[in-house]
Structure 1
Amino acid sequence: MTTSEQMPARLDLSIIIPVYNESSGVISCWKAITETLSKSSINYEIIFVDDGSEDDSLNRLLSINDNKVHVLKLTHNVGQQRAMFTALGHCRGATVITYDSDLQFAPECILELHQQISSGYDIAGGIRIARKDGFWQNRLPSMIGQYLINKALGIRQQDFGAVKAYSFALVQRIIRTAREPIIIPATAYVISRNFIEIPVQHQERKEGVSKWSTLKRMELYFDIYTLYADRPFAWIMLIGFGCFFLGVLLGFGILLYKLFVQPHFSGVIIFFDVFLLIFGLHFVSLSLIGEFVVRIHRKREQHETNLIETHYTGSRLTETAP
């Protein structure tokens, strides 16, 4: 199948929806989106990406009788970001929106985000109003991650994890420049600073169970920080140099004390001095190794592999070659 990287945008809007064990909610998601978009004149497509679901999600998707719907079945579970990235090359819309199947973002935001991209922005993101997630498991880690992400990317945006829309031109650049690990919005913000954020309604999840955990969120934030920050381990090096410098000063002070005051000195303070010197050298070494590893990783070229096992399309979602 010819990918969108080889053709101009043919539709107004493409919506990418990753699905992993969401059999109870995919039909509701499709109905809510089509009902919203049917009120407009937008020519659109919906691309569901089955990310190796182990439940009945794929069969539910294949039961949809809608020629605007495409279903990409991946060979195995690869995670939300890589699943969406795999679908980018199949989008034909002038606006590409990455959307969650849990309907926590009201479908009306799709029209609002599309309008912002149509007005000339490369990126349009939502800001969740009155967020309905738990504080300790979701909102607190998000606040920490938001700070780290803004520092790493050198931007000031308010809600990294909310629904996002991208221009077709930007999507093509993301496909060409993305690096492992795939994090679409981070790559987008690095490429373009032409973005806007708008408030979007956030709802409680009505069906299914969230696949996000605190550990997964922190892993994502750490990936972004190490992949995109200019000097991700500089603070470790500064701590190391600071401890080593204090150790040198303390050692010099101990030497002067023993030469001019008295030869006997507390072993605890000597031990603390040695600890500072070793600790400082250890942190400097760790930072140098970390910088070396990150630079090697960043120089690796992105080699696209075909993760799509089957591409279903058409009013009856007949099987086509990937």
Structure 2
Amino acid sequence: MRIAVIGAGNSGLATAAYFKKYGYFVTLWNRTEKNIANLKQSRRIKVLGIWDTTFIVDIVTSDIKEAIQGVDLILVTTPSDSHKDIARLIAPYVKEESIIILNPGRTFGAIEVKQILLQEANVCPIIGETQTILYTCRKIQEDVVSLLAIKRNVQIAFLSKDGHSIFKHLPKCYSCNLILVDSILITSLGNVGMILHCAPVLFNIGWIENKGVAFKYYYAGITPSIANFLECMDKERIMVANKLGVDVLLVQDWLKKSYKTWGNTLYECLQNNDAYKTIDAPSTLKHRYIMEDVCTGLVPVEYIAHQLGIVVPHISLVIDIAEKVVDFPFREKGRKMDILDLK
């Protein structure tokens, strides 16, 4: 099986290295060539953390046609706010039998990609999305990634009635960490990143913008009071999911399932998660924790909530603060789906 990994960031490097470990032919694509100049020459990815070894990928390129031509599986690892652009780039080259998986889709990513591919090329390949990134990882250099953990029981869903057959044909080294669920609504509304990322960044603005201070994001940045606020946001997310007829896990229960952590509260589960110990806080507000997770997480949930007649005051407050502090129209630019699109 030939695999194309789209995006050479945190998750992209980890994904490419992971599949090379198991002997697959891997093409790694990145839009900006200068960001992969050295990697393109050496094709070597150094992995630190739970592994300490180097893998050689087969092709590194900024040519999207070269990246996906003749591959069996396309794994999109770019931030979810770039899904529209990626869909437009790949549209001329994908086929009906192509398998595209967003890692992750965040909220309604697979539906958005399907809409773009139909508009651009009238093509409807097999499209799936995971609930979250499979790897806890951080890119250290252009060709070096720190792999801190491989998550367990990550949910995956497909926009196809034949999801079970598709799942069976995925590489075993990949599917062994996944759980197939019946609906994209489950993976989309199971998006825990929007809960864990947005509010803590905004509530730590003073420290983040203080260049003389560095702190651990989950351990020091999410205090008991912030964690309590996140639990309120999480209950609103659950309420929207239940109104749409799907069951999703609370963040603290997801942490227990994915990382084998423990605790009676979200704060305790975060403090007891060894995989989060070394993760630093962002150094700027214009980080994916805000720019991505508000646009493709909180905004679509709020938009659907309003259509359902549900008030989500904590989620709405975070969007309000983000718009004022970052001076960016998140609601205008964010991902918005009508309930009919979800059906």
* Same-fold call, TM cutoff 0.5: no
TM-score, length-scaled by structure 1? 0.35
Which entry has the higher C-alpha Rg, 1 or 2?
1
Q: Quick one: higher RCO (CA 8 Å, sep 6+), 1 or 2? A: 1
TM-score, length-scaled by structure 2? 0.33
